[in-house]
Amino acid sequence: MTKELKFESPTFKQRIKGMLGVDFYRLFHTPLFYIFLAVAAIIPAMISCFTLMPDQNGNTMEPLYTNVWQIIAAIEPLYVVKSIADYANIVIDFLMHIFLN
């Protein structure tokens, strides 16, 4: 007397739910995620606090950016390669770092 076991094939929805459940579990139980989250919150705040420029009189300090969204959605990135000369400077910096270490 043998008993046959029948397994149901999981539906697409069940498979996606299982995969996403595992992914989110791993994401929220990884310390590195929280480190990245803290860095992503601290860097714009530091840029907005530390980029103060004096006004025309030089007496009062006015912030360079009025809110964090101006930093995040800048028209031109802080580090952008505009020409081949900028790219060459970056390459030389990397080579010097390699050779000096």
pLDDT in tens, 8-64: 899 999 999 999 999 999 999 999 999 999 988 888 777 777 776 666 776 666 677
Distance, CA of 63 to CA of 55 (rounded, Å): 9
pLDDT in the model for residue 55? 63
pLDDT band, residue 65 (cuts 50/70/90) = confident
Cβ atoms 52, 64 nearer than 8 A: yes
- pLDDT at position 59 is 65
pLDDT at res. 60: 64
Task: Give the domain ranges of the chain.
Answer: 12-75
Coil, strand or helix: which one is 63? strand
Q: What is the mean pLDDT of residues 72-78?
A: 64
Most confident of 3-12, 45-54, 92-101: 3-12
Among 51, 56, 89, smallest CA distance to 70 is for: 51
Task: Round to whole Å and give the CA distance between 90 and 84.
Answer: 10
Distance between CA atoms of residues 56 and 54, nearest Å: 7
